[in-house]
Structure 1
Amino acid sequence: MNHAQDKYGHTRKVLLVLISILAVIPLAPLINRYIPPLILGDWNLDLTVSIILAGALTFLTLRLFRFLLLPAVGLLILVLIYNQLTNGYGFGNMIRDYKTMVQNNWGKKEQKEIDLVLRPTFFDGPLTKTVKSLQSKVIATDSVVRNYSVKHSLESFDEYYPKYGSQVRILSLFKHINSNFKYVSDSERDEYFATAKETIGNGLGGDCDDHTILMVTCMKAIGAHCRMILTDGHLYPELLCGDEKQFEMMQQAVIHLFGNEAIDNMYYHEQNGQYWINLDYTARYPGGPYVSETAYAIINL
């Protein structure tokens, strides 16, 4: 009899441990959504902290309300299934969160600073005219541009807003523009700079100038700060991340939310302690490789 009771007790303990693990696995990423990025040296600790908190919460439930543990796990799984079916935080997001923890801590995560070389020119007149013309096309106060920008800044990654804040809006807008922009050349005899409103109206078609104007205008419409870099035969936008700490936070968000793009490196320019990343239409993710390292002009807005 005692042997049977011992065997039953041992089996019961094993089942409780397994149920506890099942509770921690989905609970940790849910907690992680509400914890800001915690960076210590080269280590990203927020999901690790979330796992510890989930384990502690499960342990307390097991000690104080053991009879509630199994229903709680069942409810948690049902919530994940519901979210999966309604495009909320589901199993795919949970797997991505764990994958991000591995990428952030053990994956290749280099930062490559690119020296932006300003090429001297002896024709300041035409260059100045081009710069002023480009600046005049950035009209972020237009209601069409503002509404378009706000709409698509809410389109993706909204479930991660508690974690990354306004960076989520910027990354969502970038994703929409670069996923839908189609390259169309100007006529051979004319270099035409379209406003963001025009590019939105034509269905997101244009050349690199039009893409850059669209990107910086829309970003400006939701409060981000961008600039344009004019190179030989190309124009591309850059986003200001801020100081080194803010840049690292942006890097964590990009790796987390664009992980499927197999990010190897984050490319950036650093000037006076401020970090800028590439938003070109050639970049599959914010901070993608630059097309050119030389520039005729840095166009501030």
Structure 2
Amino acid sequence: MITLGKLTYQQLKEKFRIKSPWDLIIIFVLNILITIPVFIIAHQNLITLDWAHHIDRILLFILILIVFQLILRAMRRITLISVILYFIFLIKGTLFGDYGFQTVFEDYRSMIYTMNDDPYPQDIIISKLLPFPNKSKILSAVEYQNPRVRDFAIMAINKHFKHIKGYNDDWTLIQSFAIFKEINSRWNYVSDPKGHDYIAKATESLKYLSGDCDDHSVLMAACIKSIGGTTRLIHTKGHIYPELYIGTKKDLERINYAIKKILFPVESKGKKIHYHIDERGKIWLNLDYTAKYPGGPFMHEEILGALTLD
């Protein structure tokens, strides 16, 4: 029989067994947390039957709830052990200032809010599940709610393009370009320690505006997110860089003119605007630290992974 110290496997299993009805309550709560995002995806992708009082959607929610309840109960032992281990992880994170209960609550609430407004909510789930180097560290480092990050963003906005007229619908983009100009005109590339991948928090990079590509990407994303912009980080071979969400091709035409004729006429003279179009037709503009203007040349164009920061 398998033993761990003086305890047998059977004793460990009994030690961590959750008695009824708490096991069923935990499974039901977990089911609700899973069912809500799955229901949003189904609601957005399935045809609405327009039944009175939204009965079709109520039945859809109940059906999803029942299916997951049956699955989780069938896997009760694995489910409960996983929940216990996750709670231990969150308790540790809460006590030592890492990823804790408050953070997971805010991330879940943000995800549900974003999914509810997105016509393709499944993309948000996929983007969170896709492999991305140092994903958890990067998400933790993007301190967009830190007052120092927002103060820096506001300073840049008041310093650049403050008096531009006629772009009311694109004002968040214009302000994002102001942040880009401030960061990229002052950024000093500094490598990580040899053999180590060091991820600096946004507030840390603010002090000297120095670091490598992932530090630059974290700071750019944090500042733009702090003023309501949407960015994503692109992972290529040995490199990470930020992109800014622009919108449709029609939006790009308008922004292209603004960059080349009004905002960055000298830096972009005679040069192309570089961007990517994702699988939904959304346009993302290159903001790499090597670019002298938004949409400057790619350092590495191949996309190995993307991390959207809604």
Identify whether the pair has TM-score above 0.5, normalized to the shorter chain: yes
- Shift of the 246–128 alpha-carbon distance from structure 1 to 2, 3 Å rule, reads closer
Answering whether residue 269 of structure 2 is matched by residue 260 of structure 1, we say: no
Distance 1:163 1:300 in 2: 25
3-state SS, counterpart of residue 217 of structure 2: helix
Equivalent residues of 1:135, 1:299 under 8 A apart:
no
- 1:101-149 superposed Cα distances (whole Å, 9 cap, x missing partner): xxxxxxxxxxxxxxxxxxxxxxx99x55622222221120001101111
Equivalent residues of 2:173, 2:229 under 8 A apart:
no
Tell me how large the CA RMSD over aligned residues is: 1.8
- Shift of the 159–243 alpha-carbon distance from structure 1 to 2, 3 Å rule, reads same
- Shift of the 148–161 alpha-carbon distance from structure 1 to 2, 3 Å rule, reads farther
Equivalent residues of 1:139, 1:196 under 8 A apart:
yes
2:307 aligns to what? 299
3-state SS, counterpart of residue 193 of structure 2: coil
2:203 aligns to what? 197
Q: CA deviation at 1:163?
A: 3.6
1:154 aligns to what? 158
Answering whether residue 229 of structure 2 is matched by residue 221 of structure 1, we say: no
- Shift of the 263–200 alpha-carbon distance from structure 1 to 2, 3 Å rule, reads farther
1:138-149 correspondence runs (5 A): 138-149=142-153
- Shift of the 239–263 alpha-carbon distance from structure 1 to 2, 3 Å rule, reads farther
Equivalent residues of 1:268, 1:275 under 8 A apart:
yes
3-state SS, counterpart of residue 154 of structure 1: helix
3-state SS, counterpart of residue 227 of structure 1: strand
Answering whether residue 182 of structure 2 is matched by residue 176 of structure 1, we say: yes
Distance 1:254 1:129 in 2: 32
Answering whether residue 217 of structure 2 is matched by residue 209 of structure 1, we say: no
Distance 2:215 2:225 in 1: 15
Unpaired runs of 5+ in structure 2? 1-128
Equivalent residues of 2:149, 2:226 under 8 A apart:
yes
Higher strand share: 1
Distance 2:283 2:161 in 1: 23
Name the structure, 1 or 2, with higher relative contact order (CA <8 Å, separation 6+): 1
Equivalent residues of 1:161, 1:168 under 8 A apart:
no
Q: CA deviation at 1:285?
A: 0.5
3-state SS, counterpart of residue 219 of structure 2: helix
1:241 aligns to what? 246
- Shift of the 216–161 alpha-carbon distance from structure 1 to 2, 3 Å rule, reads farther
Q: CA deviation at 1:237?
A: 0.2
Distance 1:299 1:209 in 2: 12
Q: TM-score, normalised by structure 2?
A: 0.54
1:277 aligns to what? 285
Equivalent residues of 1:138, 1:216 under 8 A apart:
yes
1:1-301 correspondence runs (5 A): 127-128=131-132, 130-163=134-167, 165-201=171-207, 203-255=208-260, 256-261=262-267, 262-271=269-278, 272-301=280-309
Equivalent residues of 1:184, 1:207 under 8 A apart:
yes
Distance 2:158 2:282 in 1: 27
Q: CA deviation at 1:263?
A: 4.3
Equivalent residues of 2:142, 2:202 under 8 A apart:
yes
Equivalent residues of 2:245, 2:284 under 8 A apart:
yes
The residue type equivalent to 2:217 in the other structure is T
Q: TM-score, normalised by structure 1?
A: 0.55
Q: CA deviation at 1:168?
A: 2.4
- 1:224-283 superposed Cα distances (whole Å, 9 cap, x missing partner): 100000111110000000112222221111112100112411111112121101000111
Aligned length: 176
The residue type equivalent to 1:228 in the other structure is L
> Which has the larger Rg?
1
Deviates more, 1:274-283 or 1:133-142: 133-142
Distance 1:168 1:285 in 2: 12
Equivalent residues of 1:229, 1:235 under 8 A apart:
yes
* Identity value in percent: 36
Distance 1:172 1:254 in 2: 11
